[in-house]
């Protein structure tokens, strides 16, 4: 009797959930055969209040052939040279190395909209709005990738194993959010990025993070003093970080833009002031004369750092 009395209530409570579950199964069935860009855009727009599905799709991101630990695609947008104009410099822009720094992904989408409208061929851009899709696109977003590794400590720097281990144990007291992994470039996301730097040969790397509210710079001088409301404040280098690897070891300028909040987007005004200052600085300062030399010795430096990429390349001939 009791069961019967409850049944209509239970049915009423369960129906929407059941319908939702059926929808979800259908969507997942579609997802397995669907375009990976569409699927990833659906997930990004669910996660980020400031990136709608339409905005993400309009970006016309492409697959790179690289996949995260959980086999989500690393997507890229290229703004190639135009016509007869030789670009002044190549620029690699990155968002979302840390999956819980939402604004670092959203703002790169906003800047891609600016490029969609105004790309003039002055620079040759490759833009990766989300390097760590597994970190962002899960129920509770994480700084780390799906193997629990801080990608920004996984790049080859001198004496990688001892230095990152020592730093992690003594300076961070084994903070799991700063775990560098067992070996440099152990992760598909960091491995892809290092290979992309080697093959694309950017004159500058722009990496967006949050929430320290500063501008950081590694590599050959001179650093920009400010971009929008971000003022230069050299944070120092960490064993295994991208700034240390690309900027200090390889001598490729790395601009790190630390937005002041991970969860709140800068105003439209600040978003465009940072952009204008970035473009102006690049137009005045790039290419640095030494960057060509940096790539001439890229493999030598990588080998000296014992990078698994060069070891693998060597083994493969
Ligand atoms: Zn970060």
Q: How many CB atoms lie within 10 A of CB 313?
A: 15
Residues forming beta bridges with residue 91, ordered by sequence position: 125, 204
pLDDT of residue 107: 98
Q: 101 CA to middle of ligand 1, Å? A: 6
How far does residue 242's CA lie from ligand 1's centre (Å)? 11
User: Helix, strand or coil for residue 141?
Assistant: coil
Span from the CA of 241 to the centroid of ligand 1 (angstroms): 10
Q: What is the pTM of this model?
A: 0.88
Q: Where do the structural domains in the chain lie, given as residue ranges?
A: 33-315
CA of 62 to the centre of ligand 1 (A): 24
Q: How far is the CA of 235 from the centre of ligand 1 (A)?
A: 12
Which pLDDT value is given to residue 47?
98
> In this predicted structure, what is the pLDDT of residue 312?
62
Expressed in angstroms and rounded, the spacing between residue 95 Cα and the centre of ligand 1 is: 9
Distance CA(74)–CA(95), nearest Å, equals 11
| Cα 209 to averaged position of ligand 1 atoms, centre (Å) | 4
Distance, CA 243 to ligand 1 centroid (Å)?
A: 12
Sort residue 136 into left (φ over 0), alpha (ψ -120 to 50) or beta. Answer: alpha
Interior/surface letters 59-74, b for 16+ CB within 10 angstroms, e for the rest: bebeebebbbbeebbb
* SS3 call for 309: helix
Q: If the chain, 317 residues long, is cut into consecutive pieces of 10 residues, what is the mean pLDDT of each piece?
A: 40 40 48 84 98 98 98 98 94 98 98 97 98 98 98 97 95 96 97 98 98 95 93 92 97 97 98 98 91 92 90 52
> For the chain, what's the residue count?
317
One of 1.10.1740.10, 3.40.630.10, 3.40.50.1100, 3.30.70.3340 is the CATH number of 33-315, namely 3.40.630.10
> What's the rounded Cα separation, in Å, for the pair 156 and 7?
61
Q: How confident is the model at residue 8, as a pLDDT? A: 39
pLDDT at 313: 56
How much is the pLDDT for 84? Answer: 87
Cβ(288)–Cβ(253) below 8 Å? yes
Ligand 1 centroid–CA 210 distance in Å is 6
Give pLDDT, residue 311. Answer: 67
Compute CA distances 234 → 67, 172, 180, 223, 253, whole Å.
32, 19, 21, 10, 13
- Confirm if 91 and 282 have CB atoms less than 8 A apart: yes
Distances (CA, A) of 104 to 76, 111, 129, 283: 15, 11, 8, 23
How far does residue 184's CA lie from ligand 1's centre (Å)? 18
What is the pLDDT, as a whole number, of residue 10?
39
- pLDDT for 221: 74
- CA 177 to centroid of ligand 1, rounded, Å: 11
């Amino acid at each position: 009797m009791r069961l019967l009395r409850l049944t209509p209530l239970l049915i009423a409570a369960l129906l929407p959930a059941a319908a939702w579950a059926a929808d979800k199964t259908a969507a997942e069935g579609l997802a397995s055969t669907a375009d990976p860009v569409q699927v990833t855009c659906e997930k990004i727009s669910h996660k980020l209040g400031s990136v709608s599905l339409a905005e993400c799709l309009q970006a016309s991101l492409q697959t790179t052939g690289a996949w995260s630990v959980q086999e989500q695609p690393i997507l890229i947008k290229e703004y190639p040279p135009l016509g007869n104009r030789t670009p002044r410099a190549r620029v690699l822009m990155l968002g979302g190395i840390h999956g819980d720094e939402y604004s670092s992904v959203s703002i790169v989408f906003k800047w891609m909209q600016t490029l969609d409208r105004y790309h003039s061929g002055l620079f040759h851009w490759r833009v990766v709005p989300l390097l760590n899709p597994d970190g962002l696109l899960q129920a509770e977003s994480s700084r780390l990738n799906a193997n629990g590794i801080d990608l920004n400590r996984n790049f080859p720097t001198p004496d990688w194993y001892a230095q990152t281990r020592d730093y992690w144990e003594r300076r961070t007291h084994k903070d799991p959010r700063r775990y560098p992994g067992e070996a440099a470039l152990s992760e598909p996301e960091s491995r892809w990025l290092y290979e992309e730097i080697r093959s694309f040969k950017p004159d500058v790397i722009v990496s967006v993070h949050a929430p320290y509210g500063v501008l950081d710079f590694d590599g050959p001088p001179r650093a920009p003093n400010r971009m929008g409301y971000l003022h230069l404040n050299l944070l120092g280098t960490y064993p295994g970080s991208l700034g240390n690897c690309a900027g200090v070891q390889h001598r490729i300028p790395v601009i790190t833009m630390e937005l002041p909040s991970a969860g709140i987007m800068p105003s439209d005004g600040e978003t465009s002031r940072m952009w204008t200052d970035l473009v102006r600085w690049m137009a005045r300062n790039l290419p640095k004369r030494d960057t060509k030399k940096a790539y001439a010795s890229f493999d030598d430096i990588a080998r000296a750092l014992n990078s698994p990429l060069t070891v693998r390349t060597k083994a493969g001939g």
